[in-house]
Amino acid sequence: MQERVVDIETSDGVMNTYIYHPDRPGPFPVVVMYMDSIGVREELADMCRRIATVGYYVVMPNLYYRRYRSVDIDPTRITDPAYDEKFRMLWSLIDGLTNSMVTRDTESLFAFLDRDPISRPGALAIIGYCMSGPFVFRLAGAYPNRVAAAASMYGVHLITDKPDSPHLLAGDIKGEMYFACAEHDKYISATEINAVKALLAENKVRGGVEVYSEAEHGFAFPARRAYRKASCERHWEQLFDLFQRNL
């Protein structure tokens, strides 16, 4: 396994970005991993490694780069009153990030990938968890000729009244979209999930929505209280099938 960190120039600064790929000659098909709200950390790095071991070039940008090169957040302490200051800092980071900003960041990321001989040119896949679910939904429509597959894992705010809401570009999506939703998720309602289903059908978007029975928001993260092994492994199976079909 090869791992490295690169700094990518964007219109808003320098985005530190983490790369993982097999230790053999490329180029390899690309998978972009967008972090959840807790940020880049070893837990996500291990997930990137799992994808890279089967032959992919995985890239994970630090979306909080405008303020921090790294954040130190313990997800197991989010409800701890003694952790309130960290929690407020986390919400300020989340609130300071928009779909439009990540779209601009991704344009710079794609430009970097086009220059790296180890990454295979052309179609790629993108994944987003929680906070990044709407990012990948938006990006699939913003870059329809580049994004061959996109997966939103318990994504939130998929349909909003903001001018850069992800659903507004659903009609432009050409790739396959997969939404994994938890049956028990206080951050997204069944009404919104059903609206996403209807939107995909209306725009004839390949893919669909799967509700994971008995699972809670965060089920794919081993360090979280909500971790559910069966659901986590199911999501890996779905991801690798998605990649194989489209990359």
* 28 DSSP 8-state letter: B
**Span of 34-43, 117-126, 146-155, 217-226 with lowest mean pLDDT:** 217-226
CA–CA gap between residue 185 and residue 135 (Å, rounded): 19
pLDDT value of position 171? 97
Is residue 86 scored above 90 in pLDDT?
no
d(CA 149, CA 160): 22
Domain boundaries, the chain: 2-246
CA dihedral 127, 180, 242, 228 (to 10 degrees): 90
Contact residues for 145 (Cβ-Cβ < 8 A; gap 6+)? 174
Q: How far is CA 28 from CA 140, 196, 206, 231, in A?
A: 20, 32, 24, 28
Percent of the chain with pLDDT over 70: 100
Rounded to the nearest integer, the mean pLDDT of the chain is: 96
The mean pLDDT of 66-92, rounded to a whole number, is 87
Percent residues over pLDDT 90 in the chain: 89
> In this predicted structure, what is the pLDDT of residue 11?
96
Cis peptide before 29 (omega within 30 of 0): no
Q: What is 2-246's CATH number?
A: 3.40.50.1820
Q: Is the pLDDT of residue 79 over 80?
A: no
Is 80 exceeded by the pLDDT of residue 78? no
Residues in a beta bridge with 184: 216
Strands 57-61 and 30-34: parallel
Model pTM score:
0.96
Q: Measuring CA to CA, which residue among 93, 244, 99 is closest to residue 176?
A: 244
Tell me the mean pLDDT in the region 204-208: 97
Residue 131: the pLDDT is 96
Q: How many Cβ atoms are within 10 Å of 171's Cβ, its own excluded?
A: 13
The whole-number pLDDT of residue 66 equals 97
